Structure 1
Amino acid sequence: MTSAPRRRRRVKVTVEAIVDITDENALEQAAIADIETTQFSVSPGSDLTVAQVRQQEQDHIRGDAVAAVQWFIDSGAVIDDHPGIEFAEATESAIEIDEHDIPLSVWPQFAELFPLCTCGADTCDQCSGFQVTPRTAAALWTAAGLLADHAYDDVLEHGDQHADDAGSWLVFDEFPRITWRQNVVWRRQAARSFDDLSSDLAAGDWPEPRCPAEEMALHLILRYAESAVDDDWASLTGRYADLPEHKDDHNWNMLTEILFQDTDILALFSKRLDGIEDPATDQNRKLGIGDYRPQAWFEWFLNMEPRDTGRPFRR
């Protein structure tokens, strides 16, 4: 009896690299020259000649430094030939990022997502109230993306280690001390809270927290967004020219007042109030704070719509 062939074990290898373009013109010319010496082929019956295929590739490179970078990516060369291993398949991509590693290509159309009303009528619900402006939304979205990346980096770097204030953490050392002993599962959920609020903004919605973890995330987002504007982050100032200005731009105090139902979570930073997170304590009941123990941080507020429990983690 002939035995079935043994199934090959397949391994997926992920490699990430960041390159700086030091001379766009030199890069473009090098890519075009490399295409000139590359062997191309066309399928039988194709309407294109080899020369036309080569010309199309060169035209694709001209004026696009990112495309030139992608031309030089050889994902198949990540692993050399060795006994017992055979290259199967690979894909590659190249996207432009800013100095904070945020992809520039996914910048939402904030002017369309957060349209401004300037009619000035006293009876206009939009003009007579506070507006989350395109520039404010852009700053919040940029900060949320950066914090999400840093939170996932903390998870990968530290795992289940206890957080501390020694300066080796990127985000979770800025959370209340009662969360410093949480595990990887908890931290990944907390990291996703930044992404959830970022997704709200990318959809044109105000980033209103739906659980304690999102409250903490939004407090940090507001702080980082204010710093981004004050410090002229290139990822913002380079894009602001296309966004309209408005008197409500960057009104952080008003955003805190409007977006949060309350700021009770900030009491967790006070050593004098240690234990206030527990709804069984007299102090908690007296102030009506509710359950802010870490295990309750991902429970949805009763007056807010729950998020999809099947939404993925970015990492």
Structure 2
Amino acid sequence: MNDYLTIADIIDIARGRRWLIAAGVALFLALALAGSFLMTPIYRAQALLVPANTSSSLGGSSGSSMLGQLGGLASLAGVLLPSDAETDEALALLKSRELTQAFIEENDLMPVLFHKKWNAETGEWRVTGDKVPTLWDAYKYFNRKVRKVYQDKATGHVTLQIEWRDPQVAADWANELANRVNLAMRQRAIDEAARSIRQLNVELAKTQVVSLQQAIAQLVQTQIERQTIAEVREEFAFRILDRAAPPDLDDYERPKPVLYAAVGMFMGFVAGLSLAVMLDRRRVLDAKRRLPEPVVA
């Protein structure tokens, strides 16, 4: 008898032990569904952002042309002009360690993020020494498990997603992070414009060339406009097209019972079929052992 199983052999075994396979499917299905219902639901809230075009606010196309002509002078004076690079900077800031850790610290989120290690009754960590979570641990966890940022390259739209146990908290965090990056970029623009204006005034006092004085005056005017825009426009880096809203309690992102059920049924089928094949192989081997040994003449 051939010890190798063919597809036909496996089909015959499955037919003969179909109740065993069915029991395996039922068992794993029950375990998968039980696990999905015992897991804490995770909700997703998301905000839709679009990069704010600061350059267009500084005189439109004519302003952009003027800035291009004065770019060389601006670089010599250490002046930062509006550009598309601001969008990349704002996007990087949104995912940055600095902004994330400040958000966690100011909202006292360490006990929230690591609630299993925190004793709410005593207000102390349940763990000691190196096992106590640090801000770096919090940043890595938040960046890996909680916050996700996607940008549509075609439209430039940015989607900020927060996944958390509480739907309202998820929405609040998404909206606050969007506000924080706008506030941080506004303050940077205000500070940079103020430094640029001071430096340009120094350069203006040094030159007696009328054309150069006019060019510097244009740059100063541009920086004043930029500073003013940053001071009055709350949505400076990103315009918030759609603020995050808490999803319904039954609209959770994870777990997905249907997916868990499908995986459980597949694993149950594989486990049941494997056990059926093992039992059949054992039966065949036992039958071989019971055969009488051939008599040598």
Q: Which TM-score applies when normalising by structure 1?
A: 0.23
Return the structure number with greater strand share.
Answer: 2
Identify which of structures 1 and 2 has the higher relative contact order when contacts are C-alpha pairs closer than 8 Å and 6+ apart: 2
